[in-house]
Structure 1
Amino acid sequence: MSNRAVLEVIALDAEDAVAAQAGGADRLELVTDMAADGLTPSLGTFAAIRAAVRIPLRVMLRVADGFDAGDIDVLVAKARAMRAAGAEEFVLGFLDQDGHVDLVAVERIVAELNGCSWTFHRAIDRAPDRDALRKHLADLPGLDTYLTAGSPDGVDAGMDVLLAEAGRADLPGYEPQIMVGGGLRLDHLARLREAGVEAFHIGGAARPGGWDGPVDTAAVRQWREALDA
């Protein structure tokens, strides 16, 4: 099915990963510490998840809450270690104090990734000029996805931005796939799909028991079936 939408689910451990795959997830975003909005998981966690599932894994590269890169040397070392452990896809995104993309940090990490595919995450939703951010990143190798809600306040607030950007796929800086996530609900899907959005990201929506509970296969399957309908 060529127009099958991509469903990415946040996984904290191998149990989450197995449940998400069983429910029909196409890809996992691997993080730890959701209290800090998701940081780089341990090498052990990555290895356990990689051994448990066959679907692609995107590993978060982030060492502190917020959108400041922090210690770039630490990030580069984590990226290098994850690559050595077999990680092939990543998630990252850093802003400077004015909210513009931190190109120094992003370019150093992307150089370490050596052509791997990566997502620029919801830092774009905090940028004062989304279009400028996209153009600054347009020539970086491997960038194939923007994870965005269209607004820092989530998909409800960002819907108009998402619908507008979905219509710009042929413009410079808009070639990467839009993956919508951040307060995403099932009732948002019809409008987004109609606009041409083909990738969706869920975290809390896959966990009826909250972040202290595991990913629920039935919850993931509900999203899979809604996207396939």
Structure 2
Amino acid sequence: MSNRAVLEVIALDVEDAVAARAGGADRLELVSDMAADGLTPTRETFAAIRAAVDIPLRVMLRAADGFSAGSAEEVDRLAAQARALRAEGAEEFVLGFLTPDGRPDLAAIEAVAGELAGCRWTFHRAVDRAADRDQLRKALADLPGLDTYLTAGAAGGVEEGIPVLVAEAARRGEPGYTAELMVGGGLALSHLPALRAAGITAFHIGGAARPSGWTHPVSAAAVDSWRTALS
């Protein structure tokens, strides 16, 4: 793997996607409803963005705010959405569910990931709310397609999580630690030197790509400033 850093940007629509691509994003995370911290986008939104940009798209599979997968019916509905998005051409995804006591909800994770037919996917920031991060990683280690953990290292964000991120980066290759560590969640440019020094090569931004706030689209110039800092 080259040591060029991967920059992933959250996109809500075609305008976001085009701006992020123009600014130098390597990959997009497609979501809807950031008021609920990012839910599954519609099949139509995915199709429109897929037609507009030529970079990888990771599609969020999440039905409600929080990290619970919900009822069996809600898990079935999410699995159906995953099938529909696959049929539309989606090839990469983002998901992650916890039980109320902070353990990985393996039944829900396997039910949804089982629809992805081995497609690559990210376990998102639910890991930062896990009762035991190490136990979660080891429990998920053999799931097909899981290639990335999106994490801030702590529920409170990157500023608080840097020691955990550095420690986990040092374990790369151990059982449960073969997936890429992608850092996001309150990530600031000032965090990059310490994270890069730890060997971390994947970064995720949402609000940082929107200097005017979530009611405004992605700024290509803001994304470019991150691309430049990572180069």
TM-score (norm 2): 0.98
Partner of 1:74: 77
Q: Which residue of 1 aligns with 2:49?
A: 49
Q: Which amino acid aligns with 1:20?
A: A
Runs of 4 or more, structure 1, over 4 Å off, are none
Q: In the alignment, does 2:165 pair up with 1:165?
A: no
In the alignment, does 2:102 pair up with 1:99?
yes
How many aligned positions are there? 228
For 1:2 and 1:196, how far apart are their aligned partners in 2?
A: 12
What are the within-5 Å matches in structure 2 for residues 23-172 of structure 1? 23-70=23-70, 71-172=74-175
How far the C-alpha of 1:102 sits from its partner, in A, is 0.2
The equivalent of 2:225 in structure 1 is 222
C-alpha distance in 2 between matches for 1:125 and 1:54? 31
**Code of the aligned partner of 2:201:** E
* Whole-angstrom distance in 2 between the partners of 1:30 and 1:157: 26
Q: What is the root-mean-square deviation of aligned Cα atoms in Å?
A: 0.8
Which secondary structure does the structure 2 equivalent of 1:153 belong to? Answer: coil
How far did residue 2 of structure 1 move? 2.3
Deviations 1:104-155 (CA, angstroms, capped at 9, x unpaired): 0001111110000000000000001000000000000000000000001000
Q: In 2, Cα distance between the equivalents of 1:159 and 1:191?
A: 8
The one-letter code of the counterpart of 1:108 is: A
Cα distance in 2 between the residues matched to 1:217 and 1:37: 22
What is the DSSP-based 3-state SS (H/G/I as helix, E as strand, rest coil) of the residue aligned with 2:176? coil
In 2, the alpha carbon distance for the partners of 1:111 and 1:163 equals 31
Partner of 1:193 in structure 2?
Answer: 196
Structure 1 residue runs without a partner (length 5+): none
CA shift digits 1:204-227 (9 cap, x unpaired) = 000011000000000000000000
Cα distance in 1, alignment partners of residues 128 and 114 from structure 2: 24
Q: What displacement does 1:3 show? A: 1.2
For 2:8, the equivalent position in structure 1 comes to 8
Cα deviation digits, residues 138-195 of structure 1 (max 9, x gap) = 0000000000000010001101000000000021000000000000000100100010
Identity %: 72
Matched residue type, 2:56 = P
Query: How far apart in 1 are the matches of 2:212 and 2:51?
Result: 26
State the alpha-carbon separation in 2 of the partners of residues 110 and 93 from structure 1.
Answer: 9
Which sections of structure 2, spanning at least 5 residues, go unmatched? none
Q: Which amino acid aligns with 1:218?
A: A
Give me the TM-score of the superposition, normalised by structure 1.
0.99
What is the DSSP-based 3-state SS (H/G/I as helix, E as strand, rest coil) of the residue aligned with 1:118? strand
- Other structure's SS at 1:46 match: helix
